[in-house]
Amino acid sequence: MPDLRFINAHHSPLGAFASFTLGYPGASGGFDLERGQPPKEPVFVMLESANAAGSFDALPFCDAMSQDEAARFSTAHDDLNRIGASVSINVFPDEAIRREFGIARDSWRAGDLRFTVLTPALSAPDPDVADEAALKAAFVPAVYVEIEVDNSNHERARRVAFGYAGSDPYRAMCHMKTPELVGVGQGREVAILTDAPGAWSGIGFHPGLILGDALVENRGWALGQCGLLVAEVAPRAVTRLRYAIGFHRAGIVTSGIDASYLYTRWFDSAVSAARFALDRFDEAAADAADAEANLRASALSEEQRFMLAHATRAYLGSTQLLQRDGRPLWVVNEGEYRMINTFDLTVDHLFHELAHHPWAVRNVLDLYRDHYSYRDRTRLPGDSTEYDGGIAFTHDMGVANVFSARGHSCYERSGLSGCFSQMTHEQLTNWVLCAGAYVEQTDDEVWLRDNAGTLFDCLQSMILRDHPDAEQRDGVMHADSSRCSGGAEITTYDSLDTSLGQARANTYLAGKCWASYLALERLLTRLGRSDAAAQAALQARRCAETLVAAVQPDGTLPAVLEPGTPGFASRIIPAIEGLVYPWFCGRRDACNPDGPYGAYVKALRTHLDAVLKEGVCLFADGGWKLSASSDNSWLSKIYLAQFVARKILGMPASRTARSDRAHAAWLVDPRNAFWSWSDQIEAGYAIGSKYYPRGVTASLWLKEATD
Amino acid sequence: MPDLRFINAHHSPLGAFASFTLGYPGASGGFDLERGQPPKEPVFVMLESANAAGSFDALPFCDAMSQDEAARFSTAHDDLNRIGASVSINVFPDEAIRREFGIARDSWRAGDLRFTVLTPALSAPDPDVADEAALKAAFVPAVYVEIEVDNSNHERARRVAFGYAGSDPYRAMCHMKTPELVGVGQGREVAILTDAPGAWSGIGFHPGLILGDALVENRGWALGQCGLLVAEVAPRAVTRLRYAIGFHRAGIVTSGIDASYLYTRWFDSAVSAARFALDRFDEAAADAADAEANLRASALSEEQRFMLAHATRAYLGSTQLLQRDGRPLWVVNEGEYRMINTFDLTVDHLFHELAHHPWAVRNVLDLYRDHYSYRDRTRLPGDSTEYDGGIAFTHDMGVANVFSARGHSCYERSGLSGCFSQMTHEQLTNWVLCAGAYVEQTDDEVWLRDNAGTLFDCLQSMILRDHPDAEQRDGVMHADSSRCSGGAEITTYDSLDTSLGQARANTYLAGKCWASYLALERLLTRLGRSDAAAQAALQARRCAETLVAAVQPDGTLPAVLEPGTPGFASRIIPAIEGLVYPWFCGRRDACNPDGPYGAYVKALRTHLDAVLKEGVCLFADGGWKLSASSDNSWLSKIYLAQFVARKILGMPASRTARSDRAHAAWLVDPRNAFWSWSDQIEAGYAIGSKYYPRGVTASLWLKEATD
C-alpha cells in the first residue's frame, strides 16, 4: 500500500462545487469554491509547544507567508516585526505525521495534535419531492473539522490555531461573529466557525502578527490575508474543538441559463451555513463513521478502498446543485476543465449516482433532452453527400458556470477529426444508456412513458448512423454527423490516438452501441412498442455478429474495424466497456457467456486475456494500458473495465491486485498528488483531467460482492 | 511635456468600483471589477491588414497568449495549430502610435485605426432625492468605446477585432446576444456589446483560433479565455463602430454591513448595463466632449491638465455607490489597499466631491457619525494616567468590501507609534473639516442642525486632546488617544518619518487643528451657539500664536514642536496644508495675510519660500519633497499644497511650472506607469499607494482661476 500521507484530497459537501482541499505539502490546498483546482492557499493547523510559549508546531500545509503585504504600506515596521518575531512556526517533520484516509473522514495525527475533516454527505433525497429539512441537512454547503489535543501530560495551557490565507481576488478576510460563535473567513463566501469556549479570531499579514500580539484590543485588526481562529486547551486534559467550514455563493451564479445554488433557499452566507453545520455536528460525525464502517466492511483491498475514497471525494467536490425558476438543476463540473455535465462523464458517474442520488441522472437527462439535443444529418467518409440523421446530444452544457447555447456544447468544433471534434454518436448512446440504467434501477415508470418518443427517436437516429444504406447496416457506426463538416466524430477518449479516439467503426463505441440497442429493446418492450424493440434487437445482434466476425487469429479484436488503418492494428481494453451497461439496464442475460450473446461475450473475454500483457495493454508496473498504441491511460475507465473483467467476464481478483497497487502508486506520486484525483495518466504521470470527478466509476467495485 | 502614450489609466464609470484599465504595453490592463489593481489581461484591439488577409495589426496591449490552455486537454492539436497559424498578429511599433489623453476621452491612433474610450460620468445627482432616470444615466456601470477605421484608400473589406482574455477565476468567457446586439465577456460580470452590423463573437484559447477558422459554425465555440468581437469594415470608406462595456456585480457584495450596488435597481447583469449604455452613446459622447472642452478652456498647463485628468480617472475607478436597505451608501476605495472610505483620503477627495457630487461627502460623514465614531480617553507621553477624551472617528470603515466592526477601523492597532497606529485626532479634524466645507458649499441647513450636537462634541474632544490641563492648552495636540495603549498617534503620512508621521505637536496637524477650530467657530455661530463658537475661536487663536511663536531664526517652522527631537529639526511643506480648509469653509478672512491670522499666514509664506529649495523640500528635478527628512513624497498632497501656495499664499504659477514637469515625469516613468496614478513617490519611484484615488486634489487647481 503506498504512502497516502502527502496527497491532496477533496473534502466537500454535496452539490456546493466546493472543497476544503488538503494534504499536499506547502501552500497547496485551501478553500476551493468554484475553482476546479487546488487554491494554493496556506492552511494553518498549529499547536503551541508544551514547553515554549509562542512556538507552534504546524501540519505541513503552510509556508512562510510573504512579508510583502506589510511592505506595500510602508517599509518601516519595527514594531510589527518585533511582534511577528515573537512567534515561531515549525512544520512537523514528515516522520511525525500519521494520516488515516477514508471516504468521509480524513485525519492527521502529529505530536499531541489530531486534525480530522469530516465530509459525511454522500447521498441525498430527491430535491423535487423531499421535505425541506432533509434537503437542508443533505445539502448544507459545509464540512466539519475536529481538532483534538492531548495535553494530558502537560502542565501548561496551550494555544491551538486553525485558519488560512485566502486568495479570493475580490473580498478581504473577515471577522465573523454570532452571539455564540466566532469565525473567520473571506467575504461572504468562506467561513470557519467554532463554538470552542474562549476562541477568538485574528487577521494579519501572517500568523505571527496575530499570535504574537499580547494586546487583546488588536484582535479586531483586519488587514492582511491571513485569518486564524485561536483557542486554548487546558492542561492535564484531552480537549476536542469543533469547527464548521461554510461555503456560499449568493444570487444568480450562471449565465446562458440563469441559476442559483439550491442551498440559497436556507442559507444567505457562509456563516449561516457553517452555523447550521455546527448545530448538527454529532449527526454529521455519526454519518461519517457509518460511511467508513461500510467501506471497511466491503470486500475491497486497501488499495481499492483508497482509490474509491479518493475518487469519490473528487466527484463530490465537482457536484453543484443549482435551481432555475425554483426547480433543481444538477451539475457535475468536469474537474479542472469545468465543463458542465459533460455527457461522456455523466455515463461514468451513472453507477455512483444511481446508488446515492438517482434523481440526478434523471435531472441531467431531462436537460439534455430539452435544451442540449439537436437534429443533424450524416455523411460517409470522403463523401459530401448528406443523409438522414436524427436526434443527438451535445458533448456538454457549457463551461465554468456559463451554459452554452441551446443545442450546442462549448467543446465541439466542426472540421476536425481529433480532440474538440463532434462526439455525436457517443453522446447519443450515453443518453440511451443513462436512461436504461435509470429506469431499471428506479422503476420510474412515469419518466419512461414521458420519454417514449425520445427513446424511439434515439433508436432511429442510431440506426441511421449505422449506415445510410439499410442493406449495409451491421450494428456499428459508419456515418459521421454533418456537424463534422467533413471532419470525423471522436469518442470520449479525445486525447488518445485513433485506436480509441475515432468513433467510426470503433470497437469501443460498437460495444456501447450494442449495449444501447439492448437497453432500447428492453425499454421499448416495457413501453409496448414491440416493432421498435425488434428493430433494436436486430441491430444488437448485427453489432455482436460484426464484432465476433472481426476477431483476429490471435483472438483479439482490432481497435477500429477499418482494415489497413493504424486503429485496426491497435488493441484496446475498452472493447469490453460496453458490457457494463446491460448489467445495469436489466439485460444481464446478454452478459452471460452461455446466453444469447455468448459468442460476443466469450470473444471479449478472450480478447481481454490476450491484450492484458506487457507490451500490449499492461505497463511494466502492472498498471492497465487502455490502448496498446498510446501511453495515455485513464484511471476512471480502468476502474470500470476492472469491474467488467472481474464481475462479468469472471477474471479472478488476484489478477488485478498488482495493477491496483500500480494505480494507487500513480495517484500518490509526488508529481501527481497535488492534483487530488486525476484521470489521464501517461506512463505514471498525470497529464490531464486533473482534480477530476470521473474516478467515481470505482463505486462499481462495491457491486461486485453484492450484486 | 512627457510622453503619455504608454501609461495605464483608469477608464471608469462613476460608482461601480470598475475600470477598463489600459495604456501600459503588454498584457497590463483589462477589466478591473473590484480588484484595485490592473488585471494584467491581454486586450486585443486589432485591424486586419489592407494587403494581407489574416494579418492583423494590434495596439500594444496584448502579448502572445500561452498555448497551455489547449495542451491541458490534449497534446495533439494539428488542426487547431493550422487554424491558429493562419493568423498573424503584429503589434504596432511605438513610433506608429499617437495618443490623445483627456479626462473623459482617451484615444489611440495607429495606421488606419483609431480606438477611443469615453468615460463621461464625472458628476451625479443626489441619489437620495434625484429621479430614477437621471440616476440611471449617471450610474450606469459602463464605459464607451469607438473604433474608427479609415479604409478610404483601400479596396478590400477588413476585419476589426476587439476583445480580451478574462482573468476572473470563477466564470468562463461567454457569448452574449440580445435581439439586436452581440457581445462577449466573462460570466455575468463583464460584457462588451456592440451594435456593429454583422459583428459576431468568438471565444478561443487565443485570437488565432477565432479569426483563423473559416467555418461559421465554429463561432459558437466557448472554450478558452480569449473572447473577441469581430466586425468587418467596408472598402473605400471611413467606418465607426460602437461598443459599450458593462460591469456588474449582483446581490449583497459586502459583509459587516450588507450592501449591494445601487445600479442593481436597474441592471441585472453586465449585458443589461451595456445595452442601456449603447442606447445613450450619443449623449455620452457629447458629455465627454463637454468635459474635454471645459478642461481645455481652463488656465492649466499641459502637465497640469494631464495630472488632473489622470488622477480624476483613478478616483472614479475607486468609487462605489452601494445601497443598504435601499438607502445610498457611498464608498471610495483606497486604491491598491482597498480600504473603505479612508477618512484621511475623504478629506482630500472633498474638493472634487463638493464640485461634482457633494451629497457623497454628507453620506460619508453620516456613516462615520453613526457607525464609525467612538469615545476614548487620552494620555500624555510617558504617563499612563488617563484623562477625559471625547468623540473620535476611525481611520476607515473596513477593507475590500468587508466593513469593520462598529467603532473600529481595519487599519488601526494599539501599542504602536508608527504605521498602523491610531489616527484619532487627525480623523477628528477630518470630520469637522468635511462638515465645514460641506455646509459652506451646499448651505444644507437641515444637515447642519441635525449635526449640531456632534459638532459641539467634536469641539470639546479637540480641546481635551490639546491638553488635559486647561492651563496648558495652546491649540496644538498634546494628548494621545488611550486607544494607543501607550503608543503614539500618527497622521495620514504614516509611511514617512516622524516629521510628518507623528501627530502630537505636529505642525501639519496643528494647521488642520487651527482650520478645524475656524470651521467650528463658523458652524457653531450659524447654529447660534456663541459660547462654543468663542471657545473655538480662542483655540484657533492659541494655535496660530503657538505656531507663529515657533518660527525659527531662518523663518521656517519645525516639523514637530518638540525641541530636541528629529522632527523638530525637520521641515515640511504640509505645514501650509491647513490653509486650504478655511478657504472652503467660509473663512477666507483667516487666509488673508492682512487679516486676523495674518501673522500665521505670513509665517507660512515665509516658511514655504525658505523650504522650497534643493536639499530641503525640493528634489533635484524640481519636484516637491514634502519633508526635508524623507524622500517619500506624495503627489496628492503636493497638488493640494500647490493650490495653497499659489492661490492663498500668492506664489506665482511660474514658480511651480518646473515642479509640474517633474511630477508628470514621475507618473509616466516606465517603472511607475503600469500602476495608473500613484501617490507615494520616493525620489521618482512609486513605492506605495498605487492605483490610487487621492490625486483628485488636483481638481483644486480649477478653482484657482475662478474662485
Digit-coded pLDDT (tens) for B292-302: 999 999 999 99
Confidence band (pLDDT; 50, 70, 90) for B660? Answer: very high
Confidence band (pLDDT; 50, 70, 90) for A71? Answer: confident
Which bin fits A625, alpha (ψ -120 to 50), beta or left (φ > 0)? beta
Q: What is the pLDDT of residues A673-702, one digit of tens each?
A: 999 999 999 999 999 999 999 999 999 999
Residues of B in contact with A215 (CB under 8 A): 413-415, 485
Question: What is the residue-wise DSSP string for B577-639?
Answer: GGGHHHHHTT-GGGG-TTSTTHHHHHHHHHHHHHH-SBTTTB-TTS-B-SBTT-SEEEHHHHH
All cell numbers assigned to B500? 510628518
Q: What is the pLDDT of residues B123-155, one digit of tens each?
A: 999 999 999 999 999 999 999 999 999 999 999
Tell whether the model's pLDDT for residue A77 goes beyond 80.
no
Q: Which amino acid is at A114?
A: R
Cβ atoms < 10 Å from Cβ of B198: 8
Smallest CA–CA separation between A255 and chain B, in Å?
6
Phi, psi of B344 (to 5 degrees): -75, -5
Q: What distance lies between CA B31 and its chain's CA centroid?
A: 17
Average pLDDT over residues A369-373: 98
What's residue B70's pLDDT?
75
Of all residues in chain A, what percent carry a pLDDT higher than 70? 99
Cα end-to-end span (Å), chain B:
27
CB within 8 Å: B188 and A74: no
Q: What is the pLDDT of residues B51-69, one digit of tens each?
A: 999 999 999 999 876 656 7
CB-closest option in B221, B411, B414 to A410: B221
What's residue A13's pLDDT?
98
| Residue linked to cell 454547503 | A141
What's residue A68's pLDDT?
63
Pure H helices in B403-472: 424-442, 445-450, 452-466
Which residue on chain A is closest to B409 by alpha carbon? A221
CB-closest option in B73, B188, B687 to A419: B73
What's residue B88's pLDDT?
94
CB within 8 Å: A171 and B251: no
What's residue B81's pLDDT?
87
What's residue A70's pLDDT?
75
Average pLDDT over residues A183-207: 97
State how far the Cα of B411 lies from the Cα of B419, in Å rounded to an integer.
Answer: 9
Residues of A in contact with B217 (CB under 8 A): 414, 483, 485
All cell numbers assigned to B705? 482661476
What's residue B50's pLDDT?
94
Residues of B in contact with A416 (CB under 8 A): 79-80
The set of residues, in sequence order, having a beta carbon less than 8 Å from that of B138 and lying 6+ positions away, is: B14, B121, B123, B124, B125, B130
| Greatest Cα-to-Cα distance within chain B, rounded to the nearest angstrom | 88
Cβ atoms < 10 Å from Cβ of B167: 17
CB within 8 Å: B420 and A73: yes
State how far the Cα of A585 lies from the Cα of A670, in Å rounded to an integer.
Answer: 40
Cα end-to-end span (Å), chain A:
27
Contact present, A44 and A164 (Cβ < 8 Å): yes
CB-closest option in B223, B402, B419 to A399: B223
Average pLDDT over residues A159-182: 95
Confidence band (pLDDT; 50, 70, 90) for A169? Answer: very high
How many Cα atoms occupy the beta-carbon half-sphere of B698 within 13 Å?
A: 30
Which bin fits A95, alpha (ψ -120 to 50), beta or left (φ > 0)? alpha
Please give the model's pTM, rounded to 2 decimal places: 0.96
Q: What is the pLDDT of residues B403-435, one digit of tens each?
A: 999 999 999 999 999 999 999 999 999 999 999
Dihedral in degrees, nearest 10, Cα atoms B199, B205, B207, B213? -70
State how far the Cα of A547 lies from the Cα of A542, in Å rounded to an integer.
Answer: 9
CB-closest option in B169, B174, B419 to A402: B174
CB within 8 Å: B402 and A35: no
Helix (H, G, I), strand (E, B) or coil at B143: strand
All cell numbers assigned to B558? 519645525
H-helix or E-strand spanning residue A184: strand A182-186
Contact present, A635 and A348 (Cβ < 8 Å): no
State how far the Cα of A47 lies from the Cα of A92, in Å rounded to an integer.
Answer: 10
DSSP letter at B170 equals S
CB within 8 Å: A401 and B688: no
Which residue on chain A is closest to B688 by alpha carbon? A72
Smallest CA–CA separation between B97 and chain A, in Å?
33
CB-closest option in B169, B405, B688 to A220: B405
Confidence band (pLDDT; 50, 70, 90) for B178? Answer: confident
Residue of A419, A679, A685, A690 to mutate when probing chain B, most B C-beta within 10 A = A419
Residue of B201, B345, B419 to mutate when probing chain A, most A C-beta within 10 A = B419
Average pLDDT over residues B242-258: 97
Which residue on chain B is closest to A75 by alpha carbon? B495
Confidence band (pLDDT; 50, 70, 90) for B179? Answer: confident
Q: Which amino acid is at A640?
A: L
What's residue A67's pLDDT?
58
Average pLDDT over residues A231-260: 97
Which residue on chain A is closest to B37 by alpha carbon? A169
CB-closest option in A72, A172, A687 to B400: A172
Angle at Cα B571 formed by Cα B567 and Cα B574, nearest 5°? 105
CB within 8 Å: B495 and A75: yes
All cell numbers assigned to B415? 501599542
Tell whether the model's pLDDT for residue B506 goes beyond 90.
yes
Residues of A in contact with B72 (CB under 8 A): 336-337, 688
Residue of A413, A417, A484, A494 to mutate when probing chain B, most B C-beta within 10 A = A413
Of all residues in chain B, what percent carry a pLDDT higher than 90? 95
Q: What is the pLDDT of residues B69-89, one digit of tens each?
A: 777 787 767 888 889 899 999
Encode A11-27: b = buried (16+ Cβ within 10 Å), e = exposed: bbbbbbbbbbbbbbbeb
Residues of B in contact with A33 (CB under 8 A): 170
User: What is the sign, positive or negative, of the torsion defined by CA atoms of B90, B94, B95, B101?
Assistant: positive
Confidence band (pLDDT; 50, 70, 90) for B346? Answer: very high
Tell whether the model's pLDDT for residue A9 goes beyond 90.
yes
Confidence band (pLDDT; 50, 70, 90) for A498? Answer: confident
What's residue A73's pLDDT?
80
State how far the Cα of B232 lies from the Cα of B159, in Å rounded to an integer.
Answer: 4
What's residue B67's pLDDT?
58
What's residue B78's pLDDT?
81
Q: Where are the beta strands (DSSP E) in A207-308?
A: 226-233, 238-247, 260-261
Helix (H, G, I), strand (E, B) or coil at B121: coil
Please return the burial class of B296, using the count of CB atoms within 10 Å of its CB with bins 0-12, 13-18 and 19+: exposed
CB within 8 Å: A76 and B338: no
Average pLDDT over residues A82-102: 95
Smallest CA–CA separation between A116 and chain B, in Å?
28
Q: What is the mean pLDDT of chain B?
A: 96
DSSP strand pairing (A173-177 vs A158-165) = unpaired
What's residue A137's pLDDT?
97
Which residue on chain B is closest to A172 by alpha carbon? B400
What's residue A528's pLDDT?
98
CB-closest option in B217, B255, B414 to A485: B217
Q: Which of B605, B602, B459 is nearest to B523 (CA)?
A: B459
Average pLDDT over residues B331-354: 98
Which residue on chain A is closest to B401 by alpha carbon? A171
Q: What is the pLDDT of residues A119-135, one digit of tens each?
A: 999 999 999 999 999 99
CB within 8 Å: B222 and A78: no
What's residue A632's pLDDT?
95
Q: What is the pLDDT of residues B217-246, one digit of tens each?
A: 999 999 999 999 999 999 999 999 999 999
Confidence band (pLDDT; 50, 70, 90) for A66? Answer: low
Complex ipTM: 0.95
CB within 8 Å: B687 and A77: no
Contact present, A456 and A442 (Cβ < 8 Å): no
Smallest CA–CA separation between B544 and chain A, in Å?
32
DSSP letter at A100 equals E
Residue of A41, A74, A692 to mutate when probing chain B, most B C-beta within 10 A = A74
State how far the Cα of B429 lies from the Cα of A92, in Å rounded to an integer.
Answer: 51
Which residue on chain B is closest to A35 by alpha carbon? B170
CB within 8 Å: B172 and A402: yes
Average pLDDT over residues B518-544: 98
Q: What is the mean pLDDT of chain A?
A: 96
CB-closest option in A222, A255, A485 to B174: A255
DSSP letter at A159 equals E
CB-closest option in B187, B215, B250 to A402: B187
**Using H for helix, E for strand and C for coil, what is the string for A25-43?**
CCCCEEEEECCCCCCCECE
Pure H helices in A325-398: 343-356, 359-371
Helices A452-466 and A424-442: crossing angle, nearest 10°?
140
Smallest CA–CA separation between A68 and chain B, in Å?
11
All cell numbers assigned to A656? 488485478
State how far the Cα of A639 lies from the Cα of A314, in Å rounded to an integer.
Answer: 15
Q: What is the pLDDT of residues B543-578, one digit of tens each?
A: 999 999 999 999 999 999 999 999 999 999 999 999
Tell whether the model's pLDDT for residue B12 goes beyond 90.
yes
Encode B86-111: b = buried (16+ Cβ within 10 Å), e = exposed: ebebebbeeeebebebbbbbbbbbbe
Residues of B in contact with A405 (CB under 8 A): 175, 220
Q: What is the pLDDT of residues A557-573, one digit of tens each?
A: 999 999 999 999 999 99
Which residue on chain A is closest to B487 by alpha carbon? A79
How many Cα atoms occupy the beta-carbon half-sphere of B528 within 13 Å?
A: 2
